[in-house]
Amino acid sequence: MPHININTILLDGSLDGPRKVDMGVSRNCIMFVIPRENINEVADDTLLHQHCFYILLGKDDTGGPKAYIGQSYDFTARVRDHLVKKDFWNAALVFVSKTDEIFQSEVAFLEYLGITTALKIGNYNLDENKQVPKKPRISSSQESAMELFFRDIMLLTRFYNDCRLFEDAAPKAKPQPKKPAQAEPFHDFNFVLSKKGVNARIRYYEQTQRYVLLAGSTVMAEEGPSLRPAIKKLRADLFATPAALRKGDVYEITKDYDLPVTSPSTAAALCAATSRNGAIDLVDDSGKSFKDLYQA
What pLDDT score was predicted for residue 172?
A: 56
What pLDDT score was predicted for residue 227?
A: 86
Inform me whether the pLDDT recorded for 264 exceeds 60: yes
How many of the other CB atoms lie within 10 Å of CB of 85? 8
Phi, psi of 240 (to 5 degrees): -85, -5
Rounded to the nearest integer, the mean pLDDT of the chain is: 91
Cα–Cα–Cα angle for 92, 97, 100, rounded to 5 degrees? 125
Rounded Cα gap, residues 105 and 102, in angstroms: 8
The percentage of the chain sitting over the pLDDT mark of 90, rounded to a whole number, equals: 79
Q: Looking at per-residue confidence, does 217 or 184 come out higher?
A: 217
What pLDDT score was predicted for residue 15?
A: 87
What pLDDT score was predicted for residue 214?
A: 96
What pLDDT score was predicted for residue 183?
A: 84
Tens digits of residue pLDDT in 172-203:
566 677 667 678 899 999 999 999 999 999 99
What pLDDT score was predicted for residue 177?
A: 74
Tens digits of residue pLDDT in 34-68:
999 999 999 999 999 999 999 999 999 999 999 99
Q: Looking at per-residue confidence, does 246 or 179 come out higher?
A: 246
**Segments of 215-259 assigned E as strands:** 218-220, 244-247, 250-253, 257-259
How many of the other CB atoms lie within 10 Å of CB of 270? 28
What pLDDT score was predicted for residue 173?
A: 60
Inform me whether the pLDDT recorded for 171 exceeds 60: no
pTM passes above 0.85: no
What pLDDT score was predicted for residue 40?
A: 93
pLDDT band at 100 (very low <50, low <70, confident <90, very high): confident
Inform me whether the pLDDT recorded for 170 exceeds 80: no
